[in-house]
Structure 1
Amino acid sequence: MAQARSVAGAGGGGAARAALVTAIAALMVVIPAFPVPTHGTLRVGAVQGDTKAGYFDPPARVGDNLLRQIQKTQPVYGRHVDVVVWPEGASDLDPLEDPDAAALWDEVAQRAGAPLVGGAITARTSHGVTRYYNTSMVWQPARGGETDHYDKKHPVPFGEYVPARPFFHAIVPSLIDLIQREYTPGTTDDVMDVGKAVASIAICFDIVDDQIMTDGVREGGQLVFAQTNNADFGQFTDESVQQLAIARIRARELGRSVVNISTVGTSAIVYPDGTEHDRLATYTPGVMIDDVPLATTMTPAVLGGRQIEWLVCGLGVGALVAGFTVRFGRRRKS
C-alpha cells in the first residue's frame, strides 16, 4: 500500500510539473512581444541562387556558383533597391584576391545601383602564413570595392574546423578529410554600414549564438542579415526550416527585422514581430524584394538577456550542489 501511494505520489508530481510547464508555455504565447517602434525602411533585394554545395555536391568548375548567383540576381536590376544581399558562400571565388571575381561583384553592384552584401571564403597571408575566413563583405565599386567586412567569430567545430585534427583523423579519416579548410575566428565587429542603414550580420549558426546576436544590436544594428548556406544539408533534413524558426524567434527577441537568405532555402524576410512577409521555395532560385522596417529600440532581452542567462545557470548549478549535498547527507545518516 505504501509503495502504491509512493508511485501515485510520483505520478501526481510528474503531472503537476507537466501542468506547470504547459501553463508557462501558454503564458509565453499569450503575452505580446515587447513593443518595438520602427523608423523608416530599407529596400532590400535578397537573392537565393540555388547554387551547389561546398563538400558533398560541389560545382563542376570553380566559379560556377558565383556565375549562377549573378544570373539569378538579374530580377533585382531596375527595382530601386537600397542593398542587394547574397547568402553565405554565394561567391566561390574570393573577390579580394581574384580580379575577375572583383569585376563581377562590381558589375552586380553597378547594375543594381546599390551596395552588394555577399559571402565568400577569403584568404589572407601574414608572415608567410595563410589563414582562411568565412567572410561577409559590403561591396561598393564607387568606393573601391570592399568597404567593410565581418569574419565569422565562432567557426563551428567539425564543420568549419577540426579541434585536435590528428586525433580525430586517426579515428574517422574519411569524414575528417571532408573538412578541407580550417577557418580562423574573426576579430571584427558584426555590424556593417550598408549605405542607408547599419546591418547586423549573422553567418549561418551565428543565429543561435546569443552573444553575437545581442552584440550586433548593441553595436547599432537596425536590422539583421542572416546569411547561410544550407546546401550541404540536402533536401531531406529540416535543418533549414529549423534555422528559419530560430531567426523568427530572434526577430521578436531583438526587435529587429531579419533577412534570412540562404543559398537553397529556407529564405524569408521576417519583421520584428516574428511574422514572415516573404518566403522562397527551397531548392528554387528566387528573389525577395521588400521595404524592410528598421528599428533602434533596445528590448529587455538585449539589455538584460545575458544577465538572466548567468542567473539561471547559477541557479541550476546551485540546485545541483544542494541536491548532492542533501543526498549524501541522508546517506551518512542512514
Structure 2
Amino acid sequence: MNIWLSFFLALLSGTLATLAFPPANFTWICWVAWTPLISALWFGHLGKHNLFKLFALGYLAGLSFFWISLFWLHEVTTGGWLLLGFGLSVYPALWALFVGTVGMPRQQDSTDNRIWLNSWNNLYRAALGAGAWAALEWLRGLLFTGFGWNAQGVALHHVVPLIQIADITGVYGVSFLIIMINLILVMTIRRLILEIRHYGVRPHWDFTLTLLLTAGAFLYGLRQIMSHAPAKLISTRIACVQAAVPQVLKWDPAFDEAILENYRTKSQAAIRLRPQLLIWPEAATPHPALLDDRDRGMIQNLAQSFPGDFLLGTIHFQGDQSFNSAVLFTEHGQNIQLYSKIHLVPFGEYIPLRHSFPIFAWAVGTLIPNDFTPGSEPVVFSMQSVPLRIAPLICFEDTLGSLARLFVLKKASFFAVMTNDGWFKRSAGSEQHLANAVFRTAEFKLPMVRCANTGVTCFIDRFGYVTQQLSDPQDGTFGSGILVGELQIPTNPTPTFYARFGNIFAVSALLLTGIVAAFHCGAFYWVRRSRI
C-alpha cells in the first residue's frame, strides 16, 4: 500500500464517520467507519519517518471528520470552524500514533497454532486501542476548556438500549465498543485472508467475544429500561415557548417590542393549558430580564397570572462582567433564583487565549467583541409548584456529562435545557446538539426538557427516548410554537454508578494505556541502546 493510498484511506475514514451522525444518521456505518484508517496504520508500509506519517494519517482523518461534521459552525464563524478543526484533529492523530505502534498486532498471529493465545492477543490489542480512543475523547472534553461534541458513542443516540451502559461508563464506554469492533474487524479480515491463501480457515474466538460483549451491553440496556423503576414518579406538566426569533433581529432595538409580544402571546396560550412550569429559551429577552424595567415588568405580569413556576434564559450583568444566565421565578414572581452558565462555548461566547494568540480573535472577526464571564458554581433550582429540583443547563452544557454530574450530586430531579441554536440557522447543528444531550438522561437516569429559540424543543425520558417534540410540516423543528406535555420525573432518584464515580472508566483507560505506552517506549529505548 503506497503512502497516497494510505492518505486517501485516512480521509475516507473521517468522512464515513460523519455519516453516522446527524443529518445523515446512517448509524450502522459507525461500526466500520474507522477500518480504512486502521488498515492504513497497520498495512501502509510507511517507510522512513514512520511516526510522523502515523500522526499525519490520524490528523487527516480528524480534519475530515471535524470539518465535515461541524460544518454548521461556519454559519457563525468560518475562522473559528477552521481553527477548531485544526485543534481537535490532534486527538485522532495521537490515537493513530498509539495504534500504529503500541497497538500494532503481531503479523505472525494468523500462523500461530495456539488459537486461543492468538485470539486473546487480538482482544488485548483491540481493547487497548479502544481504551486509548475513550481516554482521548475524555481529554478532548476536558483540556483547553473542552469540546467533547460528537464523541463516537453519540452515533448510537437512536439505539437507546445500547447506550444504557452510559450509566456506568458515560458516553465513552459506548465509544469504546464502537472502536473495538472496528479494530477487531480489521484483525479478523486480515487473518482470514492469510488463512484462505496459506493455512486453511480455523475457528477463532476474538470476533465472537467482541460481538458477545456488544450483545451483553444491549441486553443490559433492555434490562435497565424494563426494570429500572424509581420509588415514585411525579407527572409534571411543562410548557415550552419556542419563539423562533431570527438572530439578525434578536439584538435589533427596533424589534424589541415585537419579540416581547411574541413571547407574551405564546406564553398566555401556554398558561391557559395550566402548566406547572413555563420555560423560555436561552437569552430570550431583548434586555437583561432582572435589570430592564420593561422586560422585568412583562415577566412579572406573566408570573403573577398562573400558579406555576417560570424559568427563562437571559443575559445578566454584574459590574463590567456579563453572564449567560437562567432565572427561575416562583411564588408569582416574588422569589428569584439565578444560575450563570459555567462552561462557555469556545468561539461562540468567548475566544480562547484571546490575548495570548491574537490570531484567534482576528479569525473570528467582530462577532465576539467581548467575552462572557463563566459562572462560579452549579445552582439547582427548587420549584414551588411541585417538590422537584431543576438542573438548569444552558446551551452547550447539556453535552457535558461531567458538568451535568455536578447538578445531579446536588440532588437535581431533572434537567431543564435552555438553548438557542438559531445561530446555526437550519443546519445539522441543532439535531447534533440533541443527539449529544440524550446521553445525559442515559447516564443519570433523569428526564430532560429542552426549550430552544430555534432548534429542537422536546421532552426526553430518563432512558433517552424523545417522547414529545415540537415540529410542524412546513418548518420542522425550526418554526415557532409551544410544546405542552407531561414529563415523568422521579422524586427521589437513586444515583447511578456514573453519578457516584464520574468518568472512572475513561480515567482508568487513560492510566492503563499510558502505562502500556510508557512500558513500550522504555522497551524500545533499551533495545536500541543494547544494539549500540
Q: Normalising by the residue count of structure 2, what TM-score does the alignment of the two structures yield? A: 0.56
Aligned residue number for residue 133 of structure 2: none
Tell me the distance in 1 between the aligned counterparts of 2:360 and 2:487. 48
User: For residue 154 of structure 1, what is the amino acid of its counterpart?
Assistant: H
Q: 1:150 aligns with which of 339, 346, 366?
A: 339
Aligned residue number for residue 160 of structure 2: none
Q: Per-residue deviation at 1:290?
A: 1.8
1:87 aligns with 2:289: no
Aligned residue number for residue 463 of structure 2: 273
Q: 1:121 aligns with which of 310, 315, 320?
A: 315
Aligned residue number for residue 180 of structure 1: 369
Cα 1:178–1:328 change in 2 (3 A) is same
Q: 1:199 aligns with which of 382, 390, 414?
A: 390
Query: Are the counterparts in 1 of residues 309 and 332 from structure 2 also a CA contact under 8 Å?
Result: no
Aligned residue number for residue 41 of structure 1: 235
Cα 1:143–1:284 change in 2 (3 A) is closer
1:243-254 counterparts in 2 under 5 A?
243-254=433-444
Aligned residue number for residue 318 of structure 1: 515
Q: 1:239 aligns with which of 422, 429, 434?
A: 429
User: For residue 262 of structure 1, what is the amino acid of its counterpart?
Assistant: A
Q: Per-residue deviation at 1:224?
A: 0.5
Q: Secondary structure at the match of 1:161?
A: coil
Tell me the distance in 1 between the aligned counterparts of 2:207 and 2:430. 30
Tell me the distance in 1 between the aligned counterparts of 2:444 and 2:455. 23
Give the structure with higher Rg (CA). 2
For structure 2, the 5+ residue unaligned runs are 1-42, 44-105, 111-121, 123-182, 189-205, 472-476
Q: Per-residue deviation at 1:46?
A: 1.3
Greater CA drift, 172-181 or 292-301: 172-181
Q: Secondary structure at the match of 2:313?
A: strand
Cα 1:314–1:6 change in 2 (3 A) is closer
Query: Are the counterparts in 2 of residues 36 and 297 from structure 1 also a CA contact under 8 Å?
Result: no
Greater CA drift, 242-251 or 319-328: 319-328
Aligned residue number for residue 500 of structure 2: 303
C-alpha RMSD of the superposition: 2.9
Query: Are the counterparts in 1 of residues 352 and 360 from structure 2 also a CA contact under 8 Å?
Result: no
Q: Per-residue deviation at 1:191?
A: 1.0
Aligned residue number for residue 283 of structure 1: 478
Q: Per-residue deviation at 1:117?
A: 0.4
Aligned residue number for residue 187 of structure 2: 15
Q: 1:293 aligns with which of 480, 485, 488?
A: 488
Cα 1:271–1:170 change in 2 (3 A) is closer
Cα 1:101–1:57 change in 2 (3 A) is closer
Greater CA drift, 131-140 or 164-173: 164-173
For structure 1, the 5+ residue unaligned runs are none
Tell me the distance in 2 between the aligned counterparts of 1:333 and 1:65. 75
Identity %: 20
1:208-229 alpha-carbon deviations (Å, 9 max, x no partner): 2222211111101101001111
Aligned residue number for residue 75 of structure 1: 269
Tell me the distance in 1 between the aligned counterparts of 2:417 and 2:209. 35
Q: Per-residue deviation at 1:50?
A: 0.9
Cα 1:171–1:292 change in 2 (3 A) is closer
Query: Are the counterparts in 1 of residues 242 and 480 from structure 2 also a CA contact under 8 Å?
Result: yes
Q: Per-residue deviation at 1:84?
A: 0.4
Cα 1:324–1:76 change in 2 (3 A) is same
Whose strand fraction is larger, Structure 1's or Structure 2's? 1
Q: 2:219 aligns with which of 16, 30, 43?
A: 30
Query: Are the counterparts in 2 of residues 225 and 259 from structure 1 also a CA contact under 8 Å?
Result: yes
1:120-139 counterparts in 2 under 5 A?
120-125=314-319, 130-139=320-329
Aligned residue number for residue 147 of structure 2: none
Cα 1:265–1:328 change in 2 (3 A) is same
Aligned residue number for residue 50 of structure 2: none
Aligned residue number for residue 348 of structure 2: 159
User: For residue 498 of structure 2, what is the amino acid of its counterpart?
Assistant: A
Tell me the distance in 2 between the aligned counterparts of 1:24 and 1:159. 40
Tell me the distance in 2 between the aligned counterparts of 1:171 and 1:45. 40
Tell me the distance in 1 between the aligned counterparts of 2:508 and 2:360. 39
Cα 1:283–1:325 change in 2 (3 A) is same
Query: Are the counterparts in 2 of residues 265 and 280 from structure 1 also a CA contact under 8 Å?
Result: no
Cα 1:310–1:329 change in 2 (3 A) is same
Aligned residue number for residue 264 of structure 1: 454
Q: Per-residue deviation at 1:7?
A: 8.8
Tell me the distance in 2 between the aligned counterparts of 1:269 and 1:21. 34
Query: Are the counterparts in 1 of residues 349 and 372 from structure 2 also a CA contact under 8 Å?
Result: yes
Greater CA drift, 203-212 or 81-90: 203-212
Tell me the distance in 2 between the aligned counterparts of 1:289 and 1:101. 24
User: For residue 371 of structure 2, what is the amino acid of its counterpart?
Assistant: E
Tell me the distance in 1 between the aligned counterparts of 2:449 and 2:184. 46
Q: Normalising by the residue count of structure 1, what TM-score does the alignment of the two structures yield? A: 0.86
Higher-RCO chain (CA-CA 8 Å, sequence separation at least 6): 1
Query: Are the counterparts in 1 of residues 289 and 315 from structure 2 also a CA contact under 8 Å?
Result: no
